Every structure is written in structure tokens, then in C-alpha cells.
Amino acid sequence: MNSQTRIDRWRKQNIQVLEQFKSTLPDGIKLKIIFDQSHYVNNRLNNLFKNLILGIGCVFGVTILLMGWKSALVVGSSLPLCVLMVFGGMRLLSIPLHQVSVTGLVIALGLLIDNAIVVVDEMQLLLKAGYQPQQAISKNVRYLAVPLLASTLTTILTFTPIALLAGSIGEFVKPLALCVILALSSSLFLSLTLVPALTGLTLKYKYKDNLISAGQIEWWNTGFSQPSLTRIYRRCLNSILCKPLLGIILA
């Protein structure tokens, strides 16, 4: 099969050829297909899109509860945008869309959303503090660029040995690692460009005496907040930060 050909289209063409060949067979001889990889590839692609839809739904549900519906829209949109960027990168690097590369995308789905959540959360804090959207975007990107780059590089370096494997094993698993690396790089790029810009456009808080105006305090706008839980959480954080070794052991 030509590597530039989609396996489902290739299968249809070959089924027609096989049907013609069947008509020429003598009595007592049958033609039976014992292996058809198109079913596996189609199932893997279907699972990818199911995982993507499920991931967007879960991310949107959790984010709307904790950060508000506007933040949920921004965070949720970063997931399909990352996947689209990965598809573009795969085309540029001539990485075919097959079972191994799709598996890499499935693995990456759980890693893509972290950067966007951190950026949107920081944008919320800056906007609530009274910064104008442009100022908040600039301050946010400068503040988070190095930490996000470091955390992303840490994960990328984890998959780099797989991408550098030589021989037949490397040829087989390399697309998986490259897809994860492309996904993480796309997530970082979007989190430092499009995500803060979208957040600045959508989260236009109105203030009066440094308080959010009426109509903005509902949980679906700002996220659910429970003071007693917040106090417990703050005490836990303070205790762990005061005794980091204890925190590491507990973790």
C-alpha cells in the first residue's frame, strides 16, 4: 500500500479487484480475507475523536464549576485547537496518521490542558486585581513564560529518547513520541499567545470600589467558592510549604 493513501479508500478499491477475481475462480475454491487492517485504524481514529469529545466535555464541566463559563469556553477551546495544530505539524513532518501516531495523540490529550488552565487562572487574578486586559495579558505572559516552558520541556525530554530510537523499533514507536512532543509544543504556543488574548477579550470584569459588580458574582460567572473549604485548603498549603519535605513524603 502507498503510504500517502488512506487505508479506507485503498480497501474499497481492492475489494472491487477481489470481487472481480472471485468471479474467475473455479468451483470448490474460495477467496477469504484473513486480515483487514482498515478496521483497526478506523476504530482507533473513532476512539481518538470520542476521547477528544469526552475530554472537552470533562474539561468544560470541571472548569465551569471552578472558574466560570467564560473561562471554561477558553480552556475547552484550547484542546481542539492543539489537536488541529498537531495535525498540521504531522503533515509538515510527513508523519502518517496511523494507529501508533493516533495512540500518541490519545496520550497527549491528558497533557494538553494544564498550560491553558494555569494561564486562564492567572488572567482571572490579574483582571480581578484591576489590570486592563492588555496589561494583564502582557504581565501574564512575562510571568508564566519561563515556568510553562520549563514544565513543558521536562515532559518533552521524557519522550525524546523514544523519538531518537534507532532501527526497526525506533521506526515503529517514533511517531508516538513525535505526536506527544508536537502536542505539548502546540499547547505551550497557544497558552502564551491565543489563550491569554481570548481570556482578556471574554473576561471583562466590571469593578466598583474593587468589587465585582452585581450580575458577575453568580457561581457560573466566577466559579464555585466555599469559604470553609478555602480555609482548609489554605491551611494545608501553608503547612506543606512550611515543611516541604513532609509535603513530598505525603505526596
What global pTM score does this model have? 0.77
Same domain, 132 and 228: no
Return the closest-CA partner of residue 148 out of 197, 188, 194. Answer: 188
Using CA atoms, how far apart are residues 142 and 224, in angstroms rounded to an integer? 28
Using CA atoms, how far apart are residues 12 and 18, in angstroms rounded to an integer? 10
The secondary structure element, H or E, covering residue 78 is: helix 69-92
pLDDT given at position 167: 87
pLDDT given at position 217: 63
Same domain, 103 and 155: yes
List, for residues 77-130, the tens digit of each pLDDT value.
988 999 999 999 999 998 888 888 888 888 888 888 889 999 999 998 898 888
**Per-residue pLDDT for 211 more than 50?**
no
Same domain, 149 and 228: no
* Full domain range(s) for residue 249: 224-251
Same domain, 85 and 135: yes
27 assigned to some structural domain: no
Same domain, 128 and 240: no
Beta bridge partners of 107: none
Same domain, 68 and 160: yes
33 assigned to some structural domain: no
30 assigned to some structural domain: no
- Range with lowest mean pLDDT among 97-101, 105-109, 146-150, 210-214: 210-214
23 assigned to some structural domain: no
Same domain, 211 and 228: no
For helices 167-191 and 194-202, angle between their N-to-C axes, nearest 10 degrees? 30
**Per-residue pLDDT for 187 more than 80?**
yes
pLDDT given at position 205: 61
The full DSSP string for 154-184 is: HHHHHHHHHHT--HHHHHHHHHHHHHHHHHH
73 assigned to some structural domain: yes
Same domain, 160 and 247: no
Strands 211-212 and 207-208, how do they pair?
Answer: antiparallel
Residue 113 belongs to domain with CATH number: 1.20.1640.10
Return the closest-CA partner of residue 124 out of 71, 77, 73. Answer: 71
Cβ 207 vs Cβ 126: under 8 Å: no
2 assigned to some structural domain: no
pLDDT given at position 210: 46
**Torsion angles phi and psi, residue 35, rounded to 5:** -150, 130
32 assigned to some structural domain: no
Based on the structure, what is the number of domains in the chain? 2
List, for residues 5-33, the tens digit of each pLDDT value.
888 888 888 899 999 998 899 988 988 88
Residue 224's pLDDT band (boundaries 50, 70, 90)?
Answer: confident
Same domain, 93 and 118: yes
Same domain, 69 and 178: yes
Terminal-to-terminal C-alpha distance of the chain: 50
**Per-residue pLDDT for 154 more than 90?**
yes
